[in-house]
Amino acid sequence: MLMWLRWSWRDLRARFVQVAAIAGIAALGTGVYAGLSSTSGWRRASYDASYSALGAHDLRVTLASDTFTPPARLKQALAGIDGVAAVETRLVVPTSVDASHNGRTILVAGRLVGLDLSGGGPRIDTLHAVHGRTLQSADAGSARLVLDDHFAHHYRLPTSGAVTLSGSRHVSYVGQVLSPEYFTVMGSEGTMHAEASFAVLFGSLDTVQRLTRHPGLVNDAVVRLTAGGTPAERRAAARRVETALRTRLPRTAVTVAAIDDDRAYRMLYDDIQGDQRLYAIFAFLILGGAAFAAFNLIGRVVEAQRREIGIGMALGVPRVKIALRPALVGFQVAFLGAVLGVAVGFGVSRLMLSVLKSFVPLPVWVTSFQLATYARGWAIGLALPFVATLIPVIRAVRVEPVDAIRTGPTAVRSSGLAPLFARLTRGNSIRQMPIRNVLRAPRRALLTTLAIAAATATMVGVIGIVDSFLATIDKGESAIIGNRPDRLTIALNGFAVRGSPQLRAVTTAPGVQRAEPGLQVGGTLRSGTHSLDTLITLVDYRSPMWRPGTLSGHLIAGRPGIVIAEKAAHDLHVHTGDTIWVRHPLRQGLGYKLVESKLEVQAIHDIPYRFIAFMDIRTAGLMNLDGVYNTVAVAPKPGTTMTQLQRTLFAVPSVGSVQPVLSFAQTIRDMVNQVLGIMRVVEGAVLLLALLIAFNSSAISVDERSREHATMFAFGIPLRTVLGNTVLESIIVGSLGTALGIGVGYGIVQYITQILLPGTLPDVSIHAAISATTLVTAATLGVVAVSVAPLFTARRMRGMNIPATLRVVE
Amino acid sequence: MSVDAEAGRLVSRIELRDVARRYETGGGTVTALAGVTLSVAAGELVVVLGPSGSGKTTLLNLVGALDRPTEGEVVIDGHSLRHASRRELFTYRRETVSFIFQTFNLFPGLTAFENVRFGADVSKRSAPAEIAREMLDHVGLAERMHHFPKMLSGGEQQRVAIARALATGNPILLADEPTGELDFRTGTQILGLLREQAEAGRTVVIVTHNREISRIADRTLELSSGRVISDTVPPAGPAAVTDLHW
């Protein structure tokens, strides 16, 4: 056994460059899998630890929009409900935030959260200071607030400073904090990572009540349960509490949700699963490339040992023993790759950690070594290339000894598929060689093609997903902008009736050319057992400024009906003309209750976000909100800039927030840019993989063709011509591999966008798209990089011992 | 290389002046050739005889500029190769010498016709396709021109290799054990072709360990341990190929 092992070491040493290249490829596959997958374990453990460290709520009680109640009443209503252990009431109010800093205008939508600081509170959903300090009991009633760290970090705001809230209310902040509810900032439209356009400020309850002119009132409560161990238990408790509150607060519309149904919480955890599937796809593609490359190398080793294998068989050595030597080579290459993979995985995971920490800053990060993940990656990284090497080994030992030993004319290598095309290609014999060489060894060419295809497919898959996101954003942006990109959307502080001073203050503000009041309410769409959350915007279907575009159906002004997204129609299994149940608020006296109405799907709009739905403003009577508005769309007069108008409206007391219509698209764009960080890590690995595969296949090719090259040199053909032929051969294989890789890559993007993403990003309708830039990058990588690789062998060719290679030396 | 004005034929004279070739190995210095001085006249067929390790292939490699001598110089038509640049050596191989290898070294991806055309293409001769056809016809393989090497017998492959060397039109033919892989009948066919080339004015050097082959030579050089131990001319002139036996 020791002899076979030593012999295999000599084989490895003889091809150490190729061995290193394949081990590197296998290491990349193993490392990318282990490194990326480790982050899944880290993320899950870190989320759990962070939610626990900050005492995240079990249930959240939210009063309907514009509905408030004294804290004692809400506490009293919740007290004594079975399972409720602790309650803290809060006031959560939308606002606009002017955080302009160092000459940069920063005007964003935001939220003011008033917390009960009495007795060292809050004790549920506590705050973690990242910079500066958190709130203290002494801050109660003062104008001192703390700022959500995501927003502050995004705009590089100082640790403490001042901001202006809507209604020109100036406040100071003394620190930047993290809160469990905002581990990822959700925009008002339901998008993750919305810190670029959404600021959250925390203050004492008294302070926020005073700032928002809601003295002695709250509209929100967080609840801790006595026993809330599992999501099912928490959801059951939420239903129980909601039922109880309907009885105890009959005139107040209240929703109770378990933390598991909190959008940010759910998306953070769901994201892990979705990302893990992506990591597995990328890692297996890379490992696939490694397997093909290993197959090529061992095929070459076996070919070189053909006579020795024959001699061994002629001497009666059992086939299993003969197979041991090349099999040991394959195993050791795979083993080396897997060992190096641990180091690569460690590097990848460190890179990912820095991306994740900026992506989702958490108070606690648990980054322990994920032994099980590494062991799994190691086993796959070892098994896949090793199994690939066994195929040529088995083929080699099945040859008859007499055939293996044979030398001379009958041992001339086969012409492969070259005869099939011999009559199609004519002309200079030297120029024929590249295509003939590809055809002559179809299996090797196919394996190299597949290896390059695997690398290209991974790259197209990675970048194609980003392309698809960006194409979706562009589509959404174009649909939302319409022909008035300078529109601003105003969220009022509360409901305002037609002709009221609050509304007039907006519509007649200086710089406003046109103003269209609207209404925005949350709701649920349901068809059979399928339901989904929605944000219904009631707009004027006859508006000359903007109205939704449609993919099918028509906007019918004045007739009750709803216009939903293509993705919503798909998920609800409905079409234009069908009817669905819409759960929406119904004004009743001073409060609201949620009711279900059956509405016709009048049309499918062209905005790719599922949660967006439209109704005509004339049908607001359905909600008993005829003539009542909470949003206004405005267009600036010629000569007035959007920023000027934004500042003017910002100062109007009834205005909650003023956002350019483009800000939503910008939020999604920012989100994608963050995702790009992860993609870049994979992209770097894929680029390296493609180069290694290219180099490896070139090195094997040069090795295999050495006698032919020596013959050409003996006939006086210059190095550049020989090298040119090798490059051309690589271009042919590279082009085939790239074309195949692009096709497979597109399939991967299709699979990810159509199968994986709807699970993790259900609110966005993403269609597979691959940009021209991606195609050019793929072509550059697959063709140019692969073609350039033979040039690295120029030195070796130049130094070739021609007589020895021709075997004319005695 | 020069042209004999009278005969209108390509001629090339080979000279080796005190040539030595030593190799450094792990075990010390190995002398493959030591102080060899000889000359081969243009149009002469010389057979270099010797056992394995005698240095005959090294001699062929030096003449073919595949290798450089450690000492002395190789002179072709009065031009020394000693200081020739890499580029000049490539040009020399392209325009002056042609190899015929024991193991043929045909390109497996090219047909017999294309392999022969390769020779003409390398030398940038005009009408390479016609030359290739003519050469294949000359070696009796006109019917097999579209066959790939794998489909040809050993003798046919060697004939293709000779046709390829001839297609270059170069004046020196260097053949390394050209019959080593062949049976007697095929071997004599090949030797007949080489003899023909010498008669046509090409300088032909054949390296072999088969003493019988030396009978067709104009001169026979015998090497042993890197030295020329005999240089003989058959008193009755070269024998006919048909007279050979082995």
Tokens of A492: 């009022």
CB B142 within 8 Å of CB A743: no
Q: Which residues contact A541 (CB under 8 A, 6 or more apart)?
A: A547, A555, A556, A557, A616, A617, A618
What is the model's pLDDT at position B1? 43
Which of the residues B56, B93, B95, B107 would you substitute to probe the A interface, choosing the one with the greatest number of A C-beta atoms within 10 Å?
Answer: B107
**Does B110 sit within 8 Å of A436, measured CB to CB?**
yes
CA distance B222 to chain A (A): 16
CA separation for the pair A377, A789 (Å, rounded): 29
For the segment A322-374, what is each residue's pLDDT rounded down to a tens digit? 888 888 888 888 889 888 988 999 898 888 888 888 778 899 999 888 898 88
What distances in angstroms separate CA A684 from CA A284, A345, A355, A526, one per listed residue?
16, 13, 14, 44
Q: For residue B8, is pLDDT > 50?
A: no
CB A329 within 8 Å of CB A12: yes
First to last CA, chain A: 33
Query: A66's torsion region: left (phi>0), alpha (psi -120 to 50) or beta?
Result: left
CA distance A806 to chain B (A): 8
Q: Give the type of residue at A478.
A: S
**Does B105 sit within 8 Å of A717, measured CB to CB?**
no
Band (A447; pLDDT cuts 50, 70, 90): confident
What DSSP state is assigned to residue A611?
T
For the segment A48-60, what is each residue's pLDDT rounded down to a tens digit? 999 999 999 999 9
What are the chain A neighbours of B53 within 8 Å (beta carbons)?
810
For the segment B131-175, what is each residue's pLDDT rounded down to a tens digit? 999 999 988 899 999 999 988 988 899 899 999 999 999 999 999
**Does A809 sit within 8 Å of B58, measured CB to CB?**
yes
Per-residue three-class SS string for A148-191: EHHHHHHCCCCCCEEEEECCCEEEEEEEEEECHHHCCCCCCCCC
What is the model's pLDDT at position B58? 92
What is the model's pLDDT at position B9? 41
Q: For residue A667, is pLDDT > 90?
A: no
- Name the residue with tokens 């409560």: A221
What is the model's pLDDT at position B3? 39
CA separation for the pair B196, B194 (Å, rounded): 5
Q: Which of A429-438, A465-474, B151-160 has the highest mean pLDDT?
A: B151-160
Band (A739; pLDDT cuts 50, 70, 90): very high
Question: Which of A90-94, A649-653, B130-134 shows the lowest per-residue confidence on average (mean pLDDT)?
Answer: A649-653
Band (A760; pLDDT cuts 50, 70, 90): low
CA separation for the pair A769, A474 (Å, rounded): 12
> Closest partner residue to B150 among A414, A422, A714, by Cβ?
A414
For the segment A485-512, what is each residue's pLDDT rounded down to a tens digit? 889 988 887 789 999 998 999 999 999 9
What are the chain B neighbours of A708 within 8 Å (beta carbons)?
105, 107
Q: For residue B6, is pLDDT > 50?
A: no
CA separation for the pair A688, A98 (Å, rounded): 45
Percent of chain A past pLDDT 70, that is, above it, reads 92
Strand partners, A178: A128
Q: For residue A278, is pLDDT > 80?
A: no
**Does A410 sit within 8 Å of B94, measured CB to CB?**
no
Tokens of A702: 């040069």
Q: Which residues contact A286 (CB under 8 A, 6 or more apart)?
A: A25, A28, A29, A32, A33, A454, A455, A458, A685, A686, A689
CA separation for the pair A806, A797 (Å, rounded): 13
Strand partners, A258: A59
Question: Which of A130-134, A170-174, A371-375 shows the lowest per-residue confidence on average (mean pLDDT)?
Answer: A371-375
What DSSP state is assigned to residue B216?
G
**Does A713 sit within 8 Å of B118, measured CB to CB?**
no
What is the model's pLDDT at position A809? 33
Q: For residue A228, is pLDDT > 70?
A: no
If we measure between CA atoms, which residue out of A175, A181, A222, A180 comes closest to residue A203? A175
CA distance A415 to chain B (A): 5
What are the chain B neighbours of A440 within 8 Å (beta carbons)?
108-109
> Closest partner residue to B57 among A413, A708, A808, by Cβ?
A808
- Name the residue with tokens 């607060």: A249
What is the model's pLDDT at position A415? 63
For the segment A7-42, what is each residue's pLDDT rounded down to a tens digit? 888 888 877 877 887 788 888 888 888 888 888 889
- Chain B CA closest to residue A720: B87
- What letters, b where the CB count within 10 A reaches 16 and e where it falls short, cover A514-524? ebbbbbbbbbe
What is the model's pLDDT at position A673? 67
Q: For residue A405, is pLDDT > 70?
A: no
Q: Does B103 touch chain A (CB under 8 A)?
A: yes
Q: For residue A222, is pLDDT > 70?
A: yes
Q: Which residues contact A134 (CB under 8 A, 6 or more apart)?
A: A127, A128, A146, A175, A177
- Chain B CA closest to residue A418: B109
Task: Look at strands A144-148 and A161-165 and give their pairing.
Answer: unpaired
Predicted model pTM: 0.71
Which of the residues A421, A426, A429 would you substitute to probe the B interface, choosing the one with the greatest number of B C-beta atoms within 10 Å?
Answer: A429
What is the model's pLDDT at position A621? 95
**Does B119 sit within 8 Å of A716, measured CB to CB?**
no
CA separation for the pair A667, A195 (Å, rounded): 8
For the segment A136-150, what is each residue's pLDDT rounded down to a tens digit? 998 988 889 999 999
CB A153 within 8 Å of CB A221: no
- Chain A CA closest to residue B179: A408
Band (A160; pLDDT cuts 50, 70, 90): very high
CA separation for the pair A731, A787 (Å, rounded): 5
Percent of chain A past pLDDT 90, that is, above it, reads 39
Band (B4; pLDDT cuts 50, 70, 90): very low
Higher pLDDT, A314 or A604: A604
Q: Which residues contact B121 (CB under 8 A, 6 or more apart)?
A: A428, A429, A430, B128
- Name the residue with tokens 């009542």: A628
What are the chain B neighbours of A410 within 8 Å (beta carbons)?
154
CB B218 within 8 Å of CB B44: yes
Question: What's the whole-number average pLDDT of chain A?
Answer: 85
Q: For residue A808, is pLDDT > 50?
A: no
Band (A605; pLDDT cuts 50, 70, 90): very high
Write out the DSSP string of A494-537.
EEEETT-HHHHHHHTSTTEEEEEEEEEEEEEEEETTEEEEEEEE
CA separation for the pair B154, B174 (Å, rounded): 19
CA separation for the pair A667, A673 (Å, rounded): 10
- What letters, b where the CB count within 10 A reaches 16 and e where it falls short, cover A48-87? eebbeebebbbbbbbbbbbbbbebeebbebbeebebbeeb
Band (B5; pLDDT cuts 50, 70, 90): very low
Largest CA distance in chain B: 53
Q: For residue A731, is pLDDT > 60?
A: yes
CA separation for the pair B146, B133 (Å, rounded): 11
Tokens of A679: 């993609």
Largest CA distance in chain A: 108
For the segment B12-45, what is each residue's pLDDT rounded down to a tens digit? 789 999 999 998 877 788 999 999 999 999 899 9
Taking one residue from A and the other from B, the number of pairs with CB-CB distance under 8 angstroms is: 126
For the segment A546-600, what is each residue's pLDDT rounded down to a tens digit? 999 999 999 999 999 999 999 999 999 999 999 999 999 898 876 677 899 999 9
First to last CA, chain B: 36
Q: Work out the average pLDDT over A612-640.
A: 94
Percent of chain B past pLDDT 70, that is, above it, reads 96
Question: Which of A291-305, A645-659, A708-722, B147-161 shows the lowest per-residue confidence on average (mean pLDDT)?
Answer: A291-305
| Cα angle, residue B222 at apex, residues B218 and B227 outer, rounded to 5° | 135
What is the model's pLDDT at position A189? 57
Which of the residues B110, B125, B157, B160 would you substitute to probe the A interface, choosing the one with the greatest number of A C-beta atoms within 10 Å?
Answer: B110
CA separation for the pair A432, B148 (Å, rounded): 14
- Chain B CA closest to residue A430: B118
Omega cis (within 30) before A361 = no
What is the model's pLDDT at position B11? 52
Q: For residue A92, is pLDDT > 90?
A: yes
Q: A663-704 and A706-714 helices cross at what angle (nearest 10)?
A: 70
> Closest partner residue to A714 among B66, B152, B154, by Cβ?
B66
What are the chain A neighbours of B58 within 8 Å (beta carbons)?
809
Q: For residue A676, is pLDDT > 70?
A: no
Write out the residues of chain A at the interface with chain B, using a CB-CB cutoff of 8 A: 407-410, 412-416, 418-419, 422-423, 428-430, 432-433, 436-437, 439-440, 707-708, 710-711, 713-718, 802-803, 806-810
Q: Work out the average pLDDT over B179-205.
A: 88
**Does B57 sit within 8 Å of A810, measured CB to CB?**
yes
